Structures are given as structure tokens and as C-alpha cells.
Structure 1
Amino acid sequence: MVVGGRSLRFSSPDKVMYPATGTTKRDVLEYVLRASDVLIAHAGGRPVTRKRWTEGVGTERKPGQVFFQKTLERGAPDWVQTVELQHSTGPKQYPVLSEPAVLAWMAQMGALELHVPQWRMLDGERHGDDPPRPDRLVLDLDPGPGADLDDCAQVALWVRELLEDVGLHPMPLTSGSKGIHLYARLDGTVTSEQASEVAHTLARSLEAMHPELIVSDMKKSLREGKVLLDWSQNSGSKTTVAPYSLRGRLRPTVAAPRTWAEVEAGGLEQLEYDEVLARLERDGDLIAALDPPPDRLAKYRGMRSAHRTPEPVPAEPPAPTDGRSFVIQKHRASRLHYDFRLEQDGVLVSWAVPKGLPSTPKQNRLGVQTEDHPLEYGSFEGTIPKGEYGAGVVEIWDAGTYELEKWRDDEVIATLHGQPDGGLGGDPYRFALIRTDADKRQWLVHRMKEQDAERDARLKGYAPSKASAARGGEDDDSSAAPATAPKRRLGAKADRSRGRADRPTDLRPMLATQSEPSAIDDEREWSFEVKWDGWRVLVDRRGSTVRLLSRNGRDLSGAFPEVVEAVPASIEADAVLDGEVVMLKRGAADFAALQERGGLSGRQAARAAKATPATLILFDLLEVDGERLVDERLDERQSRLDGLVHESRRVKISKPLRGRLERILEATAERGLEGIMAKRHDSRYKPGRRSDDWRKLKHQQSKEVVVVGWLEGNGSLAGTVGSLVLALPGEDGRMRYAGRVGTGFSGKDRDRLRDELRPRRTVPAIDGVPSDVARKANWVRAAVGEVEHTEQTASGALRHPVWRGLRPDKALADLNP
């Protein structure tokens, strides 16, 4: 499966994890993904200790086996971020919740309960053997024998009075086990020991005031009929189950936020995961104020004064981004050094490299991590005045984008793509940053050998050797394509009488059918290619004019100026070619990143082109110098494509995948690719028509849907899109309700959808819309979008949909019933 662009294995989805309710591993996955935003908000940046039930929680008579997993196990995906903690046996790496894919991986590993401390690690900070200062205080109200949840509610109300007297504002959660958790936000000025002492003092005070109901001592003999007010979890070395975490009880309960009105009313019960999801949809995150996004620029801002330095000093905390920009700045301060900065989550993570980046793999250089910098610093050049922090002259030595392979707390591996006239010389620069001393924030900077994806594919047996022709050479595999391509036949000449330079081509893309590997009977008749997860385009190059045309004829040229600029150098003749525009990250296409580019034009598109450039992947040649090739065989058209196109960083040819289909599918799944295309060697190009000669073999189910409306979110999502209303065309031509999708969005996505979807005044004709949806929906003009899903029910509803993005390159007519 693929979550947020991360490929991971998810096995035994129908395994029953909670026998009492029949809740399966698939249901657990659905819950953590739908609740991922709030789980990450309250557990992000904190080392996660997991309680794992690999075979389920079992029954009351036969409980399932459970064990604690603290450190990151061997074999964990490289993209799981970590923090380092000191143990008596040395430093240990703990996983951190940084993205939904980490939650999916933990669900795969049977981790039901997620426990975290009351502090979080920011900006790579270390405090010796001491943990960072806590940003929240917690009290665990645990009923002893003879006490119940109503007793805990009464104690919670007493605690609230005392905490509010000292300026703290507690927030209640039913723990998902037996009691209640109370959290209060701290300002980061006290240590864990001081927070523990405050909590202990409060517990003893309340015990003295209400000895009949409260006990602060852990001894079990003292807890009969009373509520233990457990203050000890504020210790820097202890953890509490995270808000919104599942619990490993007989039923799938959750550590669930509640309102004080519910606590005051009494009669509380522990909530199960489906109830929590419904409440999230209705109310939003009730404890959003507990863990606002951390201000990663607080340290940077505290070291500078905006009116005394020309450096950018933003007043507001940075907004999260998924960009991949870098800058290297030559800094003539008290000593000359180079500042190396990589964009991550809205800031530039920074290192001072005294001798500059190593020029060969034989060199290693020292890098000292400094404070995170704002993204605006990526374009800063100037003189920092004397007396100010970092006084001296700053010049940009090189800048561009990077492809990320790994980012962990102690290791970063990526490839830089700088400017042609930059300090790196315009060549890819692959490097590793390896932390060597956490306390001193020292890292080793090492240059690595550049990767050659085509060479790696050849070594693994699913791409042709260099000695073999690109699509017609010899191949040792008896199941591969024929050794020689048929002799070229001249195609029909296109009509040149029309004003060809003034009007776009009348050709339209040939379409493929969805299929299964088992339907490929004789592999020798087929050519296999990567299915690129991007936007399909026809490239129309005529004289000095280049157009990128979508499936429905829309001109996308303005959104991708870097591609338009690169085409003439790569394609020197007038031609019409078929391909896809993609955003490549670590060799795979990132569809979410492509969405950010689709609606841009002008200066915005130009800026985005520099920060996150797109790549054009070409796989077919339809016309060259007025000669139509659509009646030629596929392998003949592709042979001519190879001879015509000069590949560059922005223009590539989709290479054939050689070897057995089973191995090709395994290899592309391992690389996180969407799937493969199977095309008959002798297939002719059928413009605008869907043909069984081309088949899509996908690794995960995705579906194009019709967006017909949206429901407003609640709580923190008030005023923006909470979920989208989906429909699908039926066999009778009418639209039928296909459910709602409320996951897979960033906050920016929700606002953009609200603004881009055009409202309509009348209710659309859609069968099967539930009455509660019809009452609340904001109806819009139909737009094509794409979702991932696990299955489609008999009624046509999509199960567990996850939003992927709008498809402006497609029209309603492209959707099949």
C-alpha cells in the first residue's frame, strides 16, 4: 500500500484484533489514518513507546500476548524519523510520529497503544542527559476497586478549580481504560522535575481536602473505594498513552477528549474508535489548544532584532511545507565558513560547515548544526552589522532543490540539484549528513557516489543492458520483446494546409483499460513500462511554440514553464508526443506535490518551477515533421522516439522494464511506484479511444470520482472543507452517491478546495444521497478528482477513501460507469 507517497507492506488486513467486536487490522488502519491529523498533533515530536498485540488483544479468558516496544526495531523503513535518548547502555533511537505513513507502519506491526512523554524534541536540541522542558502537565485519575468513572469526574472538577486558580486550563479525556486524564498546557519555563512537584503538591492538597475519595499514594492497599490522583507521569522518563490512541482493552476504546459539560453531567462511558471518529467529524479536535504547532523559529527570532539586521525575521511561526529547497551561503563572519541549509517542514534546517562541502567521497567535513532559519533566508544576501549575531557578509554560493532518500534524527541522505553556474557546477551532488556528537551538535558531511537509476535497474534485471537497443536490442530472457523491431513503414502525412503553428494538434491521448496481471497471457507479446503517477499530456512542439495539452485539451503550459523551456533543446523537430508531467522524489512520482503546481501561472508558476521543478516523461511519438505515426506499431514508434529525444534533467524517456512480469511488479512496488503499463508490441495508436491493447496494472486501488459538494468541518476546521461529497456515473447515465472523503488533506488543501470548487445554486440530480448529507452539503459544479480506496461496496460506495487531488486534466466524460 502507499500512504502519503510512502510504500509499505500491510499484511493480514482481515486479522481480528478485538474479538469482542470483530474489529480487524484493516479497521485499526482506517482509524489511525482518519485520525492521523490529531494523533500527530498531540504525539508529534515525542518519542513513541508502543504496546504491541501482534495477534490481537484476545478475550477475557485468553488475553493476547502484549509487549512494550521502545526503540526502533531493525528493518523499520528508512523514512521513519527518530529521536535519540540516553539509556544506561548508551544512546537509543525512538520512532517519532511525523506523517500518516508512520501510523500505518505501526498498525502493520500490531501497535495499538502509543505512549509519549510530556515533552517533545524540537530543532534537534539536546540537553545532555536531561529531557527538554515539558510543554504540558498531565494528571491520571484512576479509580480503585469500588470507585467508578463518576467518582473520577467529581475529582476532575475539583482539580479544575485548583489548576485554574494558578492560571492553568485543564482539558479532560476519558482514558479509554478506566479513568480520566487531565492535561494542561505549559509555557516551557519549568523542568520535568518542577512540573512533577507541582502535580504532587496539588495531589496531596486535594487528598487532604477530600480524604474520603482521593489518594495520592500508589499503594494498592490504600485505593479501595478511592480515586488515585497519579501525578508521577510528569517525570521526564515516564509516558502516558497519547490522546486519540487506541487502547488494548477487550473493546476498541480510545483515549478520547471530552467537554467539561459532559464531565459535569456525569454518566460518562469510555468511547470506542467509531464514536471518536464521528465526534471528530462533528466537533473537530476538542483539545487543539493543548498542542499548537511548535514555533521552530523561536530560537532564531530570539537571537536577532528585526530593526538592527537586514536578515528576514518573521513575526509569525512558520507554516508547514513539503518543499525540498536548499541553499549554501558563503559567510564571511569572524571566520569564513559555509552555511548549508535544507528545507524541512516550513524551515531551513541549518549547519555551519567551516571548510565547505567535500568535493570527493574521499573527503569528510565537519558540520555544526545551528538554529533553524526561515525559508526567506534562502534568498538572503547582504551584510550583517557588527555587534549582531553572525556579523559579516553573506553571499549565495549555490541554491536549488534536493531529492530526499532518508531523514532521521541522526542521518540525512539526499541529492542536491544546484544552478548551472553555482558552486556545485550544475552537477547532481549526493551527500550524507551523519551526526557524530549530539551534545555538541556536530555532524560529518560526506559526499556519496551519485546513484544511477538506469544502471541499478539493469543490475536488478528489469531494464535492458546498455548493449541492447532501447526497445529492440538483443535480450537473454526468452520472455522479453523480439530482438529486432519491424522495418519502419512511412506514416500518412498530416494535413499541412491548416495554420499549424497557430492551432494545437487535433490528436488526443489513447486510453488504457484497468486490468490484472493474470489477464496477461503471453508476456512475449507485451511491453511493460512504469505507470507514472502524474498528469497525462500531449506535447505539441511546432517551431518556437510548445504546448502541454491535457487529456481534455486544456493547455497546461503556463503551470510548468520549466518543462516548456526544456522541450526545444530535447526535441529539435516539430513533433507531437505522448507523456506525463510528474514531480519526482527519490525516483518515484509524488502526486500530492503535483497538485500544488496545477493551479499556478505567471510569477507564481515561475517561482514554483525553481523551487520544485517538474519532469516530463515521454513514452510515445505520434507525429514528427508533419508525418503521422499513429498507424505504426508501438515498438516502431518508440524506436523513433528514442532517436528523436535528447534526454535532459527536465525531459526523460520512459524506459522499458525487461524480465518476467512477476519480478517487474515486485520491483516497482518496492520502489513505491503506482504500478505498470502493459502495451502490445504491435498496438496502433487510437487517439481519444480506450483500448484493451494498453492495460493499467496498479499496485493499489485508485479511482476517479466526481466531486459534487463539501461539508464544513467542525472545531479547528470550521469555515473550511471537512469532507467532500462524491458521486460516480451509473450505467443509466445518472450520477449516484459514492460516499464522502475526509482524509488525505492538508490544511492548505482544504482551503484551496473551498476556494476553487465553484458553487451552484441548485441541488444536483444524484441518487442515494443520505438526508443528513443533503441538508448540510455546499453543492458545487461537478469536478473530477481522484481517491485511493480499499474496495467498492455493492451499493457503489467507496470504502476507506483517501483524497489524492483534483484532476483538472480530466473531464466528466472520461469517467466510466
Structure 2
Amino acid sequence: MAGTSGAGLATYNDKRDFTKTAEPRGRKAKKAGHSFVIQKHAATRLHYDLRLEMDGVLKSWAVTKGPSLVAGEKRLAVHVEDHPLDYGTFEGTIPKGNYGAGAVIVWDRGTWVPVDGDYAKGKLEFELRGQKLSGRWHLVRMRGKRGETRENWLLIKAEDDAARPADAPDILTERPESLKTGRTVEEVAEGADETPKPARPKAASRVRKDAAIPRAKKAPMPDFVEPALAALRPAPPTGAKWLHEVKFDGYRLQARLEGQQVRLLTRSGLDWTDRFGAEVTDALRALPAEAFIIDGELVVEAGAGASDFSALQADLSEGRNERFVFYAFDLLYLNGQDLRAAPLLARKQALEDLVGSRPGRVRYSGHFGEAGAMVLRHACRLSLEGIISKEADAPYRSGRGKTWIKSKCSARQELVVAGYVPSTTSDKLVGSLALGVFDDGRLDYVGRVGTGFSAAVARNLRDRLDGMRIDDSPFADKLAADAARGVRFVRPELVAEVEFRAWTADGMLRHASFRGLREDKPAAEVVRENGPAKPAPQAPRRRVTLTHPDRIYWPDEGITKEGLADYYAQVWPRIAPFIVGRPLALLRCPSGIDGQKFFQKHAWKGISKHIALVKDPKAKGEEPMVAINDLDGLMALVQSAVLEIHPWGSTVADWDRPDTITMDLDPGEGVAWDAVIAGAQEVRQRLTDAGLAAFVKTSGGKGLHVVAPLVPKADWPAVKTFAKELADAMAVDAPGAYVSTIAKAKRKGRILIDYLRNQRGMTAVAAYSTRARPGAAVSMPVAWEELDQIAPDYFTVINTPARLDALTRDPWEDFRPAAAPLQAKPAAKGRKR
């Protein structure tokens, strides 16, 4: 068959006369990589050639209608002969009379990452990281017909953040230009100038005429422009003259393009271009301009898309750059014109015209004109860092002024590292850092931070700080005995960004978490900032002693035993109603999530006196089960390495009459998030039809839990029967969408409506409980209207406290008051979708 790997490059070479075509001669490469290229080819029939690097060649498919960003839309992809890697840069015209005669441009390129499947078996799932195409894709080989000589495949976009709705602009018409020269395939065919130039969208010519920007001045490009800085205020400003942007959690950078040279400068003017790899600079170079200065922020978007400074730090330390995104929020100079005197809105309009609204390595940072307080509340509810409010008509002013105001969701600031305490679990790691702030030249102690270090960061910090040791304390005042215990002092030169709940009355940090080093700011500039808009609520004090508090439970996120204890202390008032006085099944992970894991529901040797032992009245002769009655009990679970808490749906006061129904929606492979949301809404409606109130929470995994409070009158068999009938009815009414059986073979592309949580002895993860999985997600109660703004693992140990501080109303506030007895059967058939 054409295109099979056995043909190698012989077929490619046999089809071409290299004395007549400029295409590269076919030679198999020795290097191994994962490059991809899509070439737009105006041959006898216009098509797009998708080429994926495998085994030293480019496996190739002719996509007749071109790729589509609409999830699920199938595009025919005809497998053709392998091409040499050198072909990935080919652009030009193949002369008439030659195989494939016509114009060719490099339409998109980048890297691809295998996700699942096997090319040889005709099914491949992969991620594209290009400048026009990104996200997950599927290539599926179709069954051949008798006598058919070509090998037909289907190219299908998967459902993810990079997918577009069916009515969105078509990427093929939106971005017709070459990434290599900026020419269209028509220009190449007409023999247009082949000199490389910045890529531009031919169809729309988005960039405004410079003269249309008010108060713009013709001028040479200025040297480094000191960035505008925002003043911290406890609340955002009000009034129509302000616009509001999301505050990013990354590195502030000034992107400068002069000719084909791109440079990325920090807020102090350091050249960090080489630190971030070629993908971002290539994307900036491809913007349709000859020269610009863009003010923006380079971030890593972890989890559900929120920027995460810790993830950025981790990627930098590991030499990874595939997740870097540059958000552009201001335009200072463009094509010979200085825009700093222009109004902000005019600068932003020109910037949006330049960058466009498409997703990619460079993205435009939009803004909101609504009331700042409302924007801040929304940002905080989604656990973002905060917002920046800017005067819409103001010019760009370097330095800290009154036209940019920042409002934060939680207390976070830079602090000076002045010492460290070694880890109690390894002599190669940092256990905690001693921190301070400067005040008129004196360094004041503000406390320690002992969580938030990944294992790699803790090791790197130890190596670095060991070389900075000094004999005497750099703090102006002598430290108290507790503060000084175990501290090894260092030169106060490094700056750490730290998130914390509040300042104590004596000026110390409460519940601090390390977010990363800020190498773009001198330590001498670090002073105490104003606090958050309101002080964090006082969490109850714990009395249980933690041994090895710096033991890391989530290595990538750097969450320690003490960090987990801090989290549970902060959420205690909310989690308590769901775990106190109930039999518990516990997932214990003594070495963290990467070590041994085991479920435990019975008492163990050496169990803490703060953990209650309870006897199941129907389990005579069995070991006691475990429960907790107070915060000390929860802290004892943390000390015992409990990373997941799964309560019964009934209490120890009434074992046999449940007070909760939990319907677990578990999506199978290929199910989109909006389908899970629709399924949860369907469960909600059926519960409502049965006279029950329905609440929703993330599972902390892939799905959702729809939970109904009960007046405990019905017994377990009745509740199980009700839940099973509800699940079965959904599976019958919409068999293509839902199943109610556990068998994995039946779940692909469908959602399991798991009703088995609702029987005696079974459990479901508690609201606010952590999950023993990478990412440190928690099972989070949410409002129904929030579902389309988050992902199932959006809320984590790190960002949950800020969300809870920002909530004006608990979405589960009425959970227990809404309890009703189980009376009606669930809605039966007739709800087909």
C-alpha cells in the first residue's frame, strides 16, 4: 500500500527528477525528534500536507480539505509516501510536468507529542504544538475497499481548549500565510518576492494604519523602556474611566522586534531571550510588523488554564519550554511610531490588531469594562491571583504611578531569603526558608515558609544556599529562640515569591507557601506591601504535633505534610459537616503520591488517640472502624499520611439510614467536559423531579458528583434502588451518552452514571478532600453556573483557600436545610436526547 513504512524514501526519490525540481533529495536522517510541518500545496487540487517526524523521515498525509479546529469534524487524509526531514523547510514552486507540480508554502510547523495509539495499527492520538494548530488530534486509518490502492485515514480534532465551535472563523482562511516568508500560496505561484518577511494574515490585513493611532509620534525605537508598575490597593477603583485585566502569575517581559531580531527583557532590563526557547520568539517574529515593543508576561498555564508561577519555575529548572505562553497587554512602539503618549484603549486596539485573538504562543490580553469589584470577585472565585485596573485614556508612564492599580485575591509578595533550615527527611533538601523585608536599610524577620517546594526545587535551593552561607544573622534584631532554631544564615540576596493567608498581629506570615524565586528583582527593593482587601479568617489552631512536617506528599507541587495540615485548618469549618461523626475509608500514602498507597477503614497499630474508633453494629467480630470528631482528629489523619477521605453516606448515629445520595459521573475516553456538565444537569433535573435538591462538586478527578441531602428515613436498599433506577433510566433514554454498568468496554465515549456509592459500606470522596494524584486537586463544591468556567481538577490545595476567601456565598450553604425524605421514584423513560 502507498505510504507504508517499508517503502522508506525510495518511492519519494523515484517520483522526482531532482535536476528539474528544487525539492530536497530523500535521505533518511539519523537524529530522532518529533517535528511536524503542514505545507499548503496548490497542485492539481489544493490540499494541505500533514507531515509527522517518525524514525528519521516525515510520515505524510494529504489532507484534501485541510485541518479543521472544530472538534469531531472528520477530514480525509490520504497517506502518501514518506518525505525526508529536509522537506519540512521546503517552500517554492514545483515546475510543470513534475510530480506534484504547483506552489508550496510552509503553512504551520512545530513539534508533536504522541499521546496514545499506534501508528502501525492505524490509530494515533497526538498533541500538536504549532503556531496555528495546537491541542490534541486523532489520525485513524479507514478500512480499505477491495481494489483500492490508496490508504485513507481521517484527521479529527479532539475536544480541548484549542478546539473551536462550528461557527468560529476557519483557521484556513483566517491564517492563509506562510510561517516562513509571510507569502500566500498564490503569491508563491505568481513568483512574488521570496525574501523572508514577517508573516501576515493576507485576507484581513489586521494591522491598523499607524496614523490612525491618536497621539502616536514618529520616532526611532527607544532603548529599554522602564515598565509601568501598578500600585497595590485593597480594592479596585470604580468608575467608567477604568478597565480591568486579569493579573498574570509569571515573568513580566518587554518583547522587542527589530527587523528579524527578537529580544525578551526583564523588568530590570536583563536580556532573558535565551531562557525561554525559540517557540515564543518565533511566534513574536511572525507577527505582522517590522518593529515593535510589547509589554507582557510570560506564563505557564497549568491545570485548567490559570497561570501558575510555580509551574513556570519548575519548567525553567527542568529545561522545558513547550508550555510557555506570552500574554501581550500593552503596545509601546510600532513600525516607527512611539505609542507611549497614546491613550491606553488606542494602544490596546492596535495591539489586538497586531496579535489577533487566536490561541497560540503569543496571545492578546483582553479587558473588562464592568465594575472592578465584580471583576475581582469573579477572578478570586476562580482562584486567580487578582486583577490590574488601568485608566482607559492614560498614556504609558514608566515607574509606579496612579493610573495602574493592582488588587489581589490573597496576600502574596516578594520576600528576602536570609536563611534556611535543612529538611528532616533528606540532608540534600531545604526544609524551610527564613524570610525578611527591608525597611530603611534594615532587614526585618517575617517568618518561615516550609511548603511549596517541589523535590527538585528544594534540592536546587539547598545547593545554591549552601554556597551563600554566612556566620552571623543578617536580620537587624536578634531572633527569638523558636525562630532561630536550626537556621543556617545566608547572604540576603535571593528573592522568593510567597503566598500566605494574612499577616499576624506581630507582623509574621500565616500559612505561607513558596511560589518560586524572583530573579528579576533585586533584594534591596523588597519591602512590606499592604495586605489583601480583607484579612483572612482565623483558622483554628492545631494541637497535634506533626513529625517530619517537611515530608513532601505531592512532589511536583511541593506540598508537604505541614502544607496539607495548613490547608485542612483553613477549610475545617466547611469540610467538618461532611466528615465528622461518619465511618471513614482513608487512602494513606506514607511516602506521598508516588509511593505505596492503601485504603484503610479499620484501626491500625499505633493509631492516634485523636482518631475515634467506632463499631459497625452489623459487623460483629470485626475490628473497629475509624471516624473523627474534631480538628485534632483531622490533623491526626494528616500525621498518618491520609491523602483522601471517603465518608459513608450515613452517620455513626444512624448507620442504616443514609442522609446523602451521591451520583458519580465518570466520563469514558473521548467524552468532552461540556458533555459531563450536560449529564450532571440531567441528573439534577431527575433528582428535582423526585422532590430532592441537587448540589454539584468536582470529583478532583475527571468527573462530577451530583449530591442530594436526605432526611434520613429510607434505608440503604431503598436508596440504592432509587439511585440504580435513575442511572438505568438515563442509560436507556440516551444509550449513546450514558451507561450504568461498570464494564470499561462499554464506557468509551460515554459517561458512567455510577450509583454504587449509594449502598451500605460504600463511600465517596468528601467535599474539600484532597486527591492523591498529580496536581493536588480537591473535590470542590461549586455553583451550577460555574461549571463551564472550570475543569474537574481546577481547584487544588494551593488555590482553594483564595477561592473560599472570595466567596460571598457558599454554593452549598443550604445543603443540609434542603434535605428532603426519599419518596418519589426517579423520572423514568421519555427524556431521550
| Short-chain TM bin | 0.3 to 0.5
- State the TM-score, normalized to the length of structure 2: 0.39
- State the TM-score, normalized to the length of structure 1: 0.40
Higher relative contact order (CA 8 A, sep 6+): 1
